[in-house]
Chains A and B, each alone.
Chain A
């Protein structure tokens, strides 16, 4: 990820800020500039998600790209946020614990870095929601 590309998405990655259409009530993450249902009649506003949701499906990565090789095995999941949108994220827990329907909440973590000399990217991952 280039520095400008990360910087443009920084608020979305740090705080799960997406958008919502005030006309139809649709929620979007990542943010959309136009409501796909209401088109030009939609009223899109920024929306901060609570950060809670559940695992829709997941995979456990054992053979990763170089930048993620230290993290293996790690869980990559599709999370459905309580407000509705789905996103792809790591779930931080023992791979034996993760399951479809697992309740999760957001956590602030390192997403990656561009070598020892490059920039460190921070953002949101998910951890099990305590009962």
Chain B
């Protein structure tokens, strides 16, 4: 396979709410929640931000980072579980706003938290078969957590865009492998404002089974082992799951550390795993190898193996890093958070 990442861009809203602030409203023990989830705060969108505006900002950062001509992007897919419209693509707005229209194909993807990595795989196939020169895969979400639900402590906002192509790769995609079953661990019905989940059911038969199966499947196919990789990124619904799954698979805490952004960011759903990869690319050196496995409830996992190239140094400073976007947040209280998230209806 001769396909790779040509550029990437991220966007994180500047607002944060601390777990203590949410716990205070519901009379919960904040320390217990922080210990259980390994999440201290989460990002909150502004009142005029949604999945589309976040996707546009991430896409523009990806284009600017490597000086890409947007007219060369011939496919664009936006993965999200919080598309603003039930019917009408988010991707048409994104493509128009980045100047990629009209000569391209596009669609919106939905697969809980792994719609973005499914979009990467779609672009890989189209690029590798020479159907297109460049494809853009986006994971963007303003994820929903019902008031008082466990998800409210982690459901965050953010987006990541990857441009996939053959020329000028900053990271070669060595291989990919997916593991998918019908496992109803999390869902949101049509017209409902908040998702439902199977509580602990989302752990063992959902996250851990699918992530370990996809990761082991890829390493078996490639003949690699955890020690062959410099870094690893796993889907981050909280801090505990990726830390535990890394240990189960034989990866070390040092390998996952650069990409473990969830404690300061929360779960950005379709952007989660891809955000961890972006944070890792921000510090990676040429020839480093990165292992990544996403997870989407429902359920499935996409595993990827990357090898960083010399080009990474050329484009690294062309757009804001994840660390820069995490720095200097504006902390808000629960009342302001409720306004930002549309939980207050006038």
* A binding-site residues for B, Cβ under 8 Å: 10-11, 14-15, 69-71, 92, 94, 107-111, 120, 122, 125
Contact = CB atoms under 8 A, between A and B. Distances in A.
A70 B346 contact: yes
A71 B47 CA distance: 7
A110 B96 contact: no
A110 B99 contact: no
B56 A70 contact: no
A14 B97 contact: yes
B346 A69 contact: yes
B104 to A, nearest CB: 16
Interface of B: 46-50, 52-53, 56-57, 60, 84-85, 93, 96-97, 99, 330, 339, 344, 346
Contacts of B56: 108, 122
Nearest to B99: A15
Given A92-B46, A120-B85, A109 B53 contact: yes
B48 A125 contact: yes
A10 B85 CA distance: 18
A122 B53 contact: yes
A10 B50 contact: no
Contact of A108 (B53, B85, B99, B346): B53
B96 A108 contact: no
A120 B339 contact: no
The 5 closest A-B pairs by CB, nearest first: A108-B56, A110-B48, A109-B48, A14-B97, A108-B53
Contacts of B330: 94
Nearest to A13: B97
B52 A70 contact: no
Contacts of A69: 346
Contacts of B93: 14, 122
Nearest to B97: A14
A94 B332 CA distance: 12
A125 to B, nearest CB: 7
Given A11-B96, A15-B97, A120-B85, A109 B49 contact: yes
Contacts of B50: 110, 120
Given A92-B46, A110-B53, A122 B339 contact: no
Which among A71, A92, A94, A122 has the greatest number of chain B C-beta atoms within 10 A? A122
A70 B343 CA distance: 11
Contacts of A107: 57
A15 B93 CA distance: 11
Most A C-beta atoms less than 10 A away, residue of B48, B85, B344, B346: B48
Contacts of A110: 48-50, 53
23 contacts: A10-B96, A14-B96, A15-B97, A69-B346, A70-B47, A70-B346, A94-B330, A107-B57, A108-B53, A108-B56, A108-B60, A108-B97, A109-B49, A109-B53, A110-B49, A110-B50, A120-B50, A120-B52, A120-B85, A122-B53, A122-B56, A122-B97, A125-B48
